[in-house]
Structure 1
Amino acid sequence: MAHVTVEGTEVVVRLGLREGLAARRRQVRVPVSALREVHVERSWWRVLRGRAGHGTWSPGRCSGVRNRPDGEDFVAVRAESTVLCLELDAGAPYRRVAVSVPDPERAERAVRAAMPEGDPPEPPDPPPDPPQHRPPLQHEGGTADDHGRPPGVGSRTGSGAGQPPLDDERALRANADRVRREHVVPRRPDGPDEAP
């Protein structure tokens, strides 16, 4: 397992022999000034975010670098272990360092004591609400019908709800050139006239 210590202005993560061989390095150093947050994660698999990069990703042991759009994470975790997570600023070599350590609570206290005093970092602003492309439906607390139309708005599907009402003169003009035929189905000469 890894061991985490604070040496001067750096947090040093020393990996065990197996983790070091798998990750192709024996230690990871990050500046204390780059620390944003330190916490303990009880579920080891939750720290695995992004795509697997170089390292070893076998069931129960994950050591190496994971690639994300906003940077890389370094992980050295074992299954069924509690993990120490160091969240880092954008200028640090990694965005997160997550390692299984023998006593994660003690390591968390040691790293937290080395963090600079001052205002705790503010959480990032929540993302803005996506733009509404339709009014809320009735089951969402709105007044729109199942097609997203507010009350009083006609259909665009040709049902005529949005058209002006018919008047007799318009109907006569529309039907003036129409040829009317009677729709009579001829009877078969060899068939019975009535059904039995």
Structure 2
Amino acid sequence: MARLLVQNDDVVVRLSWREALLARRKGIRVPLTDVREAWVEPDWWRAMRGTGERGKWRPERFCTGTWRHAGGMDVVAVRGPGPVAVVDLFPGRRFARLSVSTADPEGAVQAVRLAAQRAREERSARGA
């Protein structure tokens, strides 16, 4: 199962070896300052938008890889059924959203929210 965690000044999606094989990448690293919002989506399929571009998916079971839509590209590593940790990023970034099924989506989202808020505060304090 994938993990969503905070390391230094980044949000990191670390894929399991099987997910990495399907997605053709080991993981994703995004700066905390790119995080716009984070929440838990109770229904895994609601976190999906657009169409699969790269990776593998099986309807009603799992989706791993990247999905393209009108607003950009999302990174997905979700399994049904169950809740998903969702991280929306500011427009103009490489990815628009990270959607990840994790063992503790509430804890992951809480960690991302707190770290992103701290990163924004530190950035504004340096700029002031």
Q: TM-score, normalised by structure 2?
A: 0.87
**2 CA distance for matches of 1:82 and 1:16?**
18
Q: How far apart are the structure 2 equivalents of 1:106 and 1:5?
A: 9
Pairwise CA distance, 1:5: 1.6
- Deviation of 1:116 (Å): 2.6
Higher helix share: 2
RMSD of aligned C-alpha atoms?
1.5
- Gaps in structure 2 of 5+ consecutive residues: 122-128
Structure with higher strand content? 2
Asked if residue 76 in structure 1 is aligned to residue 71 in structure 2, the reply is no
How many angstroms apart in 1 are the aligned matches of 2:116 and 2:52?
A: 30
Cα deviation for residue 7 of structure 1 reads: 1.2
Query: Could you say what secondary structure the match of 2:111 adopts?
Result: helix
Tell me what 1:12 maps to. Answer: 12
Give me the identity figure in percent: 43
| Paired residues of 1:31 and 1:92 also in contact (CA < 8 A) | no
Q: How many residues align?
A: 119
Supply the distance in 2 between the matched residues of 1:70 and 1:113 (Cα, whole angstroms). 26
Point out which structure has higher relative CO (alpha carbons under 8 A, 6+ apart). 2
Q: Which amino acid aligns with 1:71?
A: G
- Find the counterpart in structure 2 of residue 30 from structure 1: 30
Q: Tell me how far apart the structure 2 counterparts of residues 92 and 10 of structure 1 sit (CA, whole Å).
A: 14
Q: Point out where structure 1 has 5 or more consecutive residues left out of the alignment.
A: 120-196
Name which one, 1 or 2, has greater alpha-carbon Rg. 1
Return the TM-score normalized by structure 1: 0.58
What is the CA–CA distance in structure 2 between the aligned matches of 1:4 and 1:54, rounded to whole Å?
20
C-alpha contact (below 8 Å) 1:53/1:65 kept by paired residues: yes
Q: What is the rounded CA distance, in whole Å, between the counterparts of 1:13 and 1:57 in structure 2?
A: 18
